Structure 1
Amino acid sequence: MKDMTAEGGFRYSYNSLVYAGEDLAVSVDRVARFGYDAIEVVGEPEQIDAKRVAKLTQDAGIGVSSICSIYTPERDLIHPDPDARNTAIQYVKDLVDFAATMECPTVVVHPTANMKIKALADPAQEWQWAVESIRNAGEYAAPRGVSFSLECWNRFESYFLNRLEQARRLWAETGLTNGGVQGDTFHMNIEEASLADAYRDSAGVLQHVHFADSDRTAPGGAHIDFVPIVDALVEIGYDKYISFELLPALADPFSGGRHEEFFDRYTERAIRVIRAMEDLVRTRRTLGGKG
């Protein structure tokens, strides 16, 4: 497996979520063929054989960067019903075991269900439930060598944790040391005043990064300027994964269906465009200028 950290570069991954219905053997082969260091695997332990994925990735010479957790209404870490919260905590613990089997370092965490846009209880109480639930699962993860990445979503997908400063505050309150926060450029393009500064302000606690352009396709096709973002990541010494989470322009992007451009075309474009920007930024910095 390639160790880009030793070479002073980013590590690149592609989220298999968009490879809807495809056998993971084909997905792993594609990601390896286009030069990625790892693949991000969908967080459905009952549907995906972790031991098979571990073997596939090992044979392909890549790793598993992260688990793209799927937070449905039944997986709500801040639900008012304690039994429902316990069910959600158990889901995250199951993801920890799932990740550990694949030697995957990171499980993505969001405190509530995707597309839940209204609180079901007092906000202060929900915040406390988030702290307690994440701490509970995180303490289970630590001895198993798994870290958490607390992700922010835009306001149209969640009312809870929209900006990185909120995630940093919540993470600090858990008291956990195995993990940190995560910014996704698609969500950040809606919520952050400056994407580069939001990453820069997360130095030391940035665990994982999702890249997508403003229309959630591969970088280089819409209006996000990734050069200052890449420069910020280089500046803070970010040495973990940049994973491309790309999804089609549907009201429900998780509804399935095969969208051909997200397979070979966007898989190739994503790493080519960002790797070129990384090279540009690092060259400029070596020559004494900023990216």
Structure 2
Amino acid sequence: MKLGLINSAFSQVGMDFSEGIRHIREIGFDTVDIFTEAWNISKEEKKKIVRECEANSLPIVSAPCCALGIADFNDPVREFHVQRANKFVDLVKDIGGRNVLLVLGEYLWQQEVIPPVQQWAWAVECTREIGRYAQSQGVEIVIELEPFKLSIVNNVELMARFIREVNSPAVFANIDVSHVYLAGDPPEKLRLLKGLAHHLHFSDCNGKVHGDLPPGKGVIDFKPYLKAIAGLGIEGSLSIELEYCHQPDKIVEWVREAYQVTARLMKEAGLRA
């Protein structure tokens, strides 16, 4: 398995894209995930992404896309989110990536007024539609588990159910270890995603809230989770996610430490040489 980083770790602090990519390579990462906006990205920007990543020998794996209105009760809103997600599919194809990481929304109004079963059905239907387009372009969709009370997919069981109901050869799960931990799911629950997961996110937390801390800076015992992941036989990339650095001037040190700790944990789990 490869070890990557979402480049938002550097862009969040205002660092130039090219400089961030150089740091990612210098620190030792195998791959990179690109955080950008696909809706109005220019051809020149796409070319720059490809050029800089190739110059630094960093294969591109994924691009995150938040589609929080994918289960909205208004048809035009859902249609927009499908169109925008398809733009991300185009982006990933153009820059030579593998998948679009799709973040679904939440149930509206505390699951009142609009029946939750209908919102679930809309999310499944729209994701299936995105999956059809992704398959035609040779791109995969991976779904993010969000550990919030009203998130449409907020635990491992719901993730497995969602992927099976979408029933698309191009739609898979993303396993975010921190999110799984915050959802209260033990490592053994990950067996439900065997054959259904194609990507991973990795970060730590304080055990209470979503935080994207460097591994080792929080409370998660990663070893049993990585052991469970090793048993899933995933061929892909584990991408570190660091998006809330409270000391922007220390971001390079944060990323370097996250890399070193994660590389050691992956080696101990037999996931990376």
Match of 2:209 in 1: none
Amino acid at match of 1:175: N
- In the alignment, structure 2 segments of 5+ residues that lack a partner are 207-211
Of 270-279 and 29-38, more deviation after overlay is shown by: 270-279
Normalized against structure 1, the TM-score is what? 0.83
Give runs of aligned pairs for residues 39-54 of structure 1, distance below 5 A: 39-45=32-38, 46-47=40-41, 49-54=45-50
Which one-letter code corresponds to 1:209 in the other structure?
L
Contact 1:192 1:198 in 2 (8 A): no
Offset of residue 199 of structure 1: 2.6
* Distance in 2 separating the partners of 1:160 and 1:36: 32
Alignment partner for residue 202 of structure 1, among 190, 193, 204? 193
User: What's the counterpart of residue 18 of structure 1?
Assistant: 9
Q: Which moved more, 1:42-51 or 1:142-151?
A: 42-51
Q: Tell me the secondary structure at the aligned position of residue 160 of structure 1.
A: coil
Figure out how many residues of one structure are paired with residues of the other and give that number: 260
Q: Percent identity?
A: 20
Q: CA deviation at 1:130?
A: 0.8
1:55-134 to structure 2, matched below 5 A, reads 55-71=51-67, 75-112=68-105, 118-119=110-111, 121-134=114-127
Query: Which letter does structure 2 place at the counterpart of 1:127?
Result: W
Q: Is the 8 A contact 2:64 2:103 kept in 1?
A: no
TM-score, normalising length from structure 2?
Answer: 0.88
The 3 A distance-change label for structure 1 pair 64 and 162 is: same
Counterpart contact for 1:248–1:259, Cα < 8 Å: no
Q: Within the alignment, does 1:32 sit opposite 2:25 as a pair? A: yes
Q: Report the residue type matching 2:161 in the other structure.
A: R
Q: CA deviation at 1:282?
A: 2.6
Which residue of structure 2 aligns with residue 183 of structure 1?
Answer: 175
Report the counterpart of residue 136 of structure 2 in structure 1.
Answer: 143
8 A contact 2:46–2:95 mirrored in 1: yes
Query: Which secondary structure does the structure 2 equivalent of 1:44 belong to?
Result: coil
The question of 1:273 aligning with 2:261 is answered: yes
Matched, 1:164 2:156: yes
Question: For 2:244, which of 248, 256, 277 is the aligned residue?
Answer: 248
Q: 1:43–1:70: 8 Å Cα contact kept in structure 2?
A: no
1:173 maps to amino acid: E
CA distance in 2, matches of 1:207, 1:282: 18
- 3-state SS of paired residue (1:207): strand
What is the distance in 2 between the residues matched to 1:29 and 1:208?
A: 23
User: 1:179 and 1:268 mapped to 2: Cα distance?
Assistant: 32
Distance verdict in 2 for CA 1:95–1:235, change over 3 Å: same
User: Would the alpha carbon gap of residues 138 and 240 (structure 1) be closer, same or farther in structure 2, given more than 3 Å must change?
Assistant: same
Kept after mapping to 2: 8 A contact 1:164/1:182:
no
2:249 to 257, 260, 280: 260
TM-superposed CA distance for 1:234, in Å, is 1.6
Q: Which of structure 1's runs of 4+ aligned residues deviate more than 3 A?
A: 115-120
Task: Check the 8 A contact 1:93/1:141 in 2, yes or no.
Answer: yes
Secondary structure, aligned partner of 2:34: strand
Instruction: Give a deviation string over 1:62-84, Cα, whole Å, max 9, x none.
Output: 1112112134xxx5111100001
What are the superposed Cα offsets for residues 142-186 of structure 1, whole Å, 9 maximum, x if unpaired? 121110111110116x43110122111111111201131112222
